[in-house]
Amino acid sequence: MRSVSVFGATGSIGESTFDLLTGQGGRDTYRTVALTGGRNVARLAEMARALGAEVAVTAHDDCLSDLRDALAGSGVEVAAGAAAIAEAAARPADWTMSAIVGAAGLVPGFRALSHGGTLALANKESLVTAGPLLMAEARRHDARILPVDSEHSAVFQALVGEDLATVEHITITASGGAFRDWPLDRLARATVAEASTHPNWAMGQRITIDSASMFNKALEMIETREFFGISPDQIEVLLHPESLVHALVGFRDGGVIAHLGTPDMRHAIGYALNWPDRAHLPVGRLDLARAGSLSFRAPDPVRYPALRLAREVMAAGGLCGAAFNAAKEAALDAFIAGRIGFTVMAEVVEAALERLSGAGALGMAPGDLDMVLAADAEARRVAGEIITLRQGG
Ligand code: NAD
Ligand code: MG
């Protein structure tokens, strides 16, 4: 029986993962080791009971007693806090879903690699902040990382049987998010509610807002570089409003292999869960005759400054990815809290990177996780100062 753990089980990716595990036999097929979540302990407990998990962990200490009550008599162990999540990740599982949102997913993902097995990586922030360390950790323990981000799963599938050395470019697509057709001068006044709707994908709030600002695609460019090890100038972004083509890989003979499918994360999650097999998955089928046409255009650099920032981050290397992600998370928190406007997010990130790299703080290649976490903390602090100055702007 295959053992599985799901980190961030109560989120959007976590729910889809739970849905697939249940659909593939649940506790008759899988032995569930750990499930983790946040404040939604009722749902976490429900999932833990349904899968017969060994341990359920909430990220919040003040939720522990509720979780304990909800799991009373179930035989499921309970725990709380970041250290308990890391401890749960150190328990061996054959397959681990990394679906915590943000840099908080970094340490659990690392711990999960320490016992080998497969890490299904939805948490792109791990690769953005600590890509080389994460890939090295996987090699050291003979663990496997499978991409879950839809674009990266698409590239991975397009590369089956191919030689990476023959790849000329990798193009990831972007829907353009909630504001792709808004007049530019309206963007500054976009509200949190408006930014939290996505034209095609149903996702967690943070990644949905990151899709509107294109910070999500910026992270994904860096994720592409770290996962596939190709150079930044081979990575392209194409606006594709229909979200049916997820990525294209161009080869040196002029051939291009694209991956298509309806926008449903259960495809990429299911691919990673069943790899190298392809299982029957409960996702909508692509109907191109009904879609009629697919459209593409180059992203507008004025509307989406995040894409330029991603290129600068990749060129600078070192701890820049960690600082970029942390400053972005701080700016996103401030936007959600109503402290700064939508377009100020990119300004905050750019100013934070300028200040940190001006101080020579980001040049070093991270030697270990502590260096990454320190750069993350410093970038949050600097971004916080800039946000305070810009507040209301
Ligand atoms: P979500 O907000 O819906 O869920 C996040 C999960 O992480 C929840 O279980 C939450 O309780 C937990 N969590 C949040 N903060 C935490 C913390 N500090 N410590 C521990 N746990 C914490 O997010 P999501 O949309 O499911 O995204 C999860 C990850 O997958 C992100 O990295 C995102 O970029 C990536 N991703 C998501 C999608 C999608 O369709 N939702 C697609 C591609 C990639
Ligand atoms: Mg994606």
- Strand segments (E) across 282-328: none
Measuring from atom 27 of ligand 1, which residue has the nearest CA?
101
How sure is the predictor about 226, in pLDDT bands with cuts at 50, 70 and 90? very high
Verify whether ligand 1 is closer than 6 Å to residue 37 (CB atom). Answer: yes
CA 373/CA 152 separation, integer angstroms: 25
Question: Is 237 strand, coil or helix?
Answer: strand
pTM: 0.98
Q: What confidence score (pLDDT) does residue 359 get?
A: 87
Q: Give 113 Cα–ligand 1 centroid separation in angstroms.
A: 19
In CATH terms, the fold of domain 317-390 is: Rna Polymerase Sigma Factor; Chain: A (1.10.1740)
Domain ranges of the chain: 2-147, 152-262+285-291, 317-390
Residue-wise pLDDT tens digits, 234-254: 999 999 999 999 999 999 999
Q: Which residues pair with 238 in a beta bridge?
A: 173
Residue-wise pLDDT tens digits, 20-46: 999 999 999 999 999 999 999 999 999
Q: Give 174 Cα–ligand 2 centroid separation in angstroms.
A: 8
Give the other-Cβ count within 10 Å of 163's Cβ.
9
Q: What confidence score (pLDDT) does residue 392 get?
A: 60
Q: Give 149 Cα–ligand 1 centroid separation in angstroms.
A: 12
Q: Is 10 annotated as a binding residue?
A: yes
Q: What confidence score (pLDDT) does residue 393 get?
A: 52
> In terms of residues, how long is the chain?
393
Which is the CATH superfamily of the domain at 2-147? NAD(P)-binding Rossmann-like Domain (3.40.50.720)
